[in-house]
Amino acid sequence: MNLFNFIILPEFIVSLLLILIVLVPILLCVAWMTIIERKVMGSMQRRIGPNVVGYYGILQPFADALKLVVKEQIIPAQSNKALFFLAPMISLVFSLLAWGVVPFGSGMAIYDFSLGILYSLALASMGVYGSLFAGWAANSKYAFLGSLRTTAQMVSYELIYSTGIISVILLSGSLNLSVISESQSTIWYIVPLFPVFIIYLISAIAELNRTPFDLPEAESELVCGFMTEHSGMIFVFFYLAEYSGIVLMSTFSSVLFLGGYSFPEIFINHSFFNIQTFVLAIKALAFMFFFVWVRATYVRQRYDGLMIFTWTKLLPIAIAFLIFIPSTLIAFNIPPIS
């Protein structure tokens, strides 16, 4: 039943309200992700971390947002003004649009699209234009080099990333994320596809430009990469897009390999409330913690080593699994789990 059936409203207003109900918690999760990262890294490095603004520092993200909003925006004189402002908007919009097909529970998605994975991959590919436009429009060597690194890195690792997703599609027999979640009620795909999961996880870190693969934003080489010339409010858009990507990737990975919102039925049927969304959140938090853990543990790699590792190490292994998995399914006459 529609949440707004008791109110007579135009359909587009109802759709807008439903989107806001999902979007506002997501933006809050992005804000909390920043404080989670700083507190977890502080604990791992024997530091206190933010602890002044609010109880245990939980209001620090809002203080940071206020500081950035009131800062002066400096625009390079020789920059392309239109693309300079458009680039961060592209990055943020495409990182938020992908949430439209993510199922938060049984029947709980903004749009339960039958080609949801294809939709997500298309948006992930479009997001690279934000980084590319930012580097080119700024008319700065550091920003331009950062955007070129981003484009080459994301295009390279999308091959590996897509290969891991195709393996899940072969097992589930569907491109629908809800079907993929429900098909893992017996066994999570991380168990039969563990080697593929490891390859997928490495490519996910590279897709997010996270340490040790944060070469596009290497402050020791490129100041801040493609975001070097952006400041104030337009920098906030890049910042939100980056952490929104982490939360989205964590949720997406939990749907693909950890069953998403699915949970043993004995717990769900005897609970006093639907815990499916809570289960999905716990799984996504585990991935978020892992991404922070990796950042606190490993050092940044060299860019040539990063690209060589993709094309000469990961890609042959990923192609081998892409041939092995369907061959095994056909040889043993294993039907799709869904």
Look at the chain and report how many structural domains it folds into. Answer: 2
* Pair (268, 205) in one structural domain: yes
Q: State residue 21's pLDDT score.
A: 77
What would the mean pLDDT of 160-181 be, rounded to a whole number? 91
| CA–CA separation, 225 and 87 (whole Å) | 14
Please determine, for residue 328, whether its predicted confidence score (pLDDT) is greater than 70: yes
* Pair (46, 83) in one structural domain: no
| CA–CA separation, 276 and 261 (whole Å) | 5
Q: What is the CA radius of gyration of the chain?
A: 21
CB 212 within 8 A of CB 298: yes
Q: Both tokens of residue 250?
A: 């964590």
Name which of 243, 236, 221 is nearest 38 in CA terms: 243
* Pair (221, 139) in one structural domain: yes
Q: State residue 274's pLDDT score.
A: 62
* Pair (31, 134) in one structural domain: no
| CA–CA separation, 76 and 74 (whole Å) | 7
State percent of the chain over pLDDT 70. 90
* Pair (292, 173) in one structural domain: yes
* Pair (25, 141) in one structural domain: no
Which of 13, 44, 70 terminates a domain? The answer is 70
* Pair (229, 133) in one structural domain: yes
287: in domain: yes
* Pair (242, 102) in one structural domain: yes
User: Which of 149-158, 208-217, 227-236, 270-279 is predicted with the least confidence, judged by mean pLDDT?
Assistant: 270-279
The model's pLDDT over 19-56, given as tens digits with 9 standing for 90+, comes to 777 778 888 888 889 888 999 999 898 888 888 888 88
Mean pLDDT of the chain: 84
| CA–CA separation, 230 and 235 (whole Å) | 5
Please determine, for residue 333, whether its predicted confidence score (pLDDT) is greater than 50: yes
| CA–CA separation, 23 and 56 (whole Å) | 26
Omega cis (within 30) before 212: yes
Instruction: Give the dihedral sign, CA 166/171/173/175.
Output: negative
The residue with tokens 């020789």 is 78
Q: State residue 219's pLDDT score.
A: 66
Which of 28, 47, 70 terminates a domain? The answer is 70
Q: Letter for the amino acid at 5? A: N
Provide the residue range defining the domain that includes 62.
1-70
Which distant-in-sequence residues (6+ apart) come within 8 Å of 326 by Cβ? 170
The model's pLDDT over 74-114, given as tens digits with 9 standing for 90+, comes to 888 888 888 888 988 898 888 888 888 899 888 788 888 88
Which of 45, 70, 95 terminates a domain? The answer is 70
Which distant-in-sequence residues (6+ apart) come within 8 Å of 158 by Cβ? 121, 124, 125, 203, 207
* Pair (128, 270) in one structural domain: yes
Q: State residue 226's pLDDT score.
A: 83
The model's pLDDT over 239-297, given as tens digits with 9 standing for 90+, comes to 888 889 999 999 999 999 998 888 766 555 444 446 888 889 999 999 999 999 998 89
Which ranges in the chain belong to alpha helices (H)? 11-44, 60-70, 81-97, 116-126, 128-137, 141-172, 177-182, 194-207, 219-222, 232-257, 265-269, 276-297, 303-308, 315-331
What would the mean pLDDT of 144-161 be, rounded to a whole number? 86
* Pair (18, 127) in one structural domain: no
Q: State residue 32's pLDDT score.
A: 85
336: in domain: no
